[in-house]
Structure 1
Amino acid sequence: MSTSPVSKFGLVAYLLAAVVIVADQASKYWILAVYDLPSRFSVPIAGPFSLTMVWNKGVSFGLFRADQELTRWLLTAFAIAVSCVLAWWARQAPRASMAIGFGLVMGGALGNVIDRIRFGAVADFLDFQRLGFFPWVFNVADAAITVGVVFLLLDSLRKDPVT
């Protein structure tokens, strides 16, 4: 089995994943330790935007709630496995759009894994519920995963061959 060097787009994916992890964890540190949102629960900020503390035991945006310890660890293992597969694919990403998608999803998944390991749940706090059509509270990692999936979907629709 040969190991080829990581492509320039692979490096972009890894760097972007690291940036997402740092941004996610820094925002959670500020929300939890500095601003102390858990003691305030919900604070209106501007227009439809609030900071609302939610401990998410499910997957992104609170889907598939997982209250059992076994499920917590299964979700953690699954997110790590997905991140490893994406990291392997990202090594030879042929296009920037693919690398960006891989990096955002990896970073978001690993940011939430850190929370599951540390807290047993993911800290969510970005709340746009007052818009009336977006009922989820989320975090930087969730946003990165969502945008990353959009990049991967758009990349998959490209008609030009992978070089």
Structure 2
Amino acid sequence: MKLRSAISIIALVIVIDQALKFWIKTSFPYGHVMDMGGQRWAQFYFIENPGMAWGMELGGNWGKLILTLFRLAAVTFGSWYLVRIVKQGYSKGFIVCAALIYAGALGNLIDSMFYGMIFEESTYTHIAKAFPAGGGYGGFLHGKVVDMLYFPMIENAHFPDWLPILGGKEFTFFSPIFNIADASISVGVLTLLLFQKRFLHKREVEVNEDTAQPQISSEEAQQMI
């Protein structure tokens, strides 16, 4: 698989991810919920995440700064690693998964680095504008990640009473609110876990074929001498 194919995958994910985030951020107030195609189990639910994927946080401004710098370091390493595995001829499936993970990390990094500077603060009553005259809600590296995809396929359900700790408690499946970048990372990681043997086995076979040396018989060797 060529590097430009991997770059095309990354670019596609980034464009879709950022376009959806811009639309949500500039079209709805914070906390707005809207069904997708009239389906209750599939919704747009606008929230902003100051921390990691799936709503996890690393508290305070310093925690936010550290997290953004970590994302930046991860994307920098990912750039080098992606070029490396393409040059070394890894399997197409492995490269696609790596590209999806890289694209997701880059998509959320863009939010963390720049959204604080280019957007107003979103509130429950105010729809934010992009590139406001008075500046954004935060500085460089202090942006919040925009999340909006919510799929509450099972609501108001309860765990069985006999289940330890969780027994009888209410739950919603699927409860996390995420974005395209989060989904890209998850798809890449899960696919790698499910098919790692196939991807790595294919790579080992390719390496063995490339490094295999031709065998000659003893008679051919004597004739050569």
Same fold (TM over 0.5): yes
Whether the 8 Å CA contact 2:31–2:47 is kept in 1: the answer is no
2:34 counterpart letter in structure 1: V
Query: What is the 5 A alignment of 1:96-107?
Result: 96-107=92-103
The answer to which structure, 1 or 2, has the higher relative contact order (CA under 8 A, 6+ apart) is 1
Local SS of the residue matching 1:148 = helix
The alpha carbon displacement at 1:150 in A equals 1.9
The residue that corresponds to 1:43 in the other structure is 34
CA distance in 1, matches of 2:62, 2:14: 24
Query: What is the 5 A alignment of 1:11-160?
Result: 11-33=4-26, 36-38=27-29, 41-45=32-36, 46-63=39-56, 65-91=57-83, 92-93=85-86, 94-117=90-113, 118-119=115-116, 120-131=143-154, 132-158=172-198, 159-160=201-202
Whether the 8 Å CA contact 1:126–1:139 is kept in 2: the answer is yes
Q: Highest CA radius of gyration, 1 or 2?
A: 2
Local SS of the residue matching 1:38 = coil
Over residues 100-149 of structure 1, what are the superposed CA-to-partner deviations in whole Å (9 max), with x where a residue is unaligned?
A: 11111111111111111213211001111243321100111111111111
CA distance in 1, matches of 2:40, 2:60: 36
The alpha carbon displacement at 1:155 in A equals 4.5
Whether the 8 Å CA contact 1:129–1:137 is kept in 2: the answer is no
CA distance in 2, matches of 1:140, 1:22: 10
Whether the 8 Å CA contact 2:30–2:47 is kept in 1: the answer is no
1:19 counterpart letter in structure 2: L
Whether the 8 Å CA contact 1:49–1:128 is kept in 2: the answer is yes
1:51 counterpart letter in structure 2: F
Deviation larger for 153-162 or 124-133: 153-162
Over residues 38-61 of structure 1, what are the superposed CA-to-partner deviations in whole Å (9 max), with x where a residue is unaligned?
A: 256112331301111111112111
Over residues 68-91 of structure 1, what are the superposed CA-to-partner deviations in whole Å (9 max), with x where a residue is unaligned?
A: 111112111212222222222221
The alpha carbon displacement at 1:156 in A equals 2.5
Distance 1:47 1:25, change over 3 A: same
CA distance in 2, matches of 1:81, 1:125: 26
CA distance in 2, matches of 1:57, 1:50: 21
User: 5+ residue gaps in structure 2?
Assistant: 117-142, 155-171, 208-225
1:107 counterpart letter in structure 2: A
User: Across the two proteins, how many residue pairs are aligned to each other?
Assistant: 153
Whether the 8 Å CA contact 1:104–1:148 is kept in 2: the answer is yes
CA distance in 2, matches of 1:39, 1:154: 37
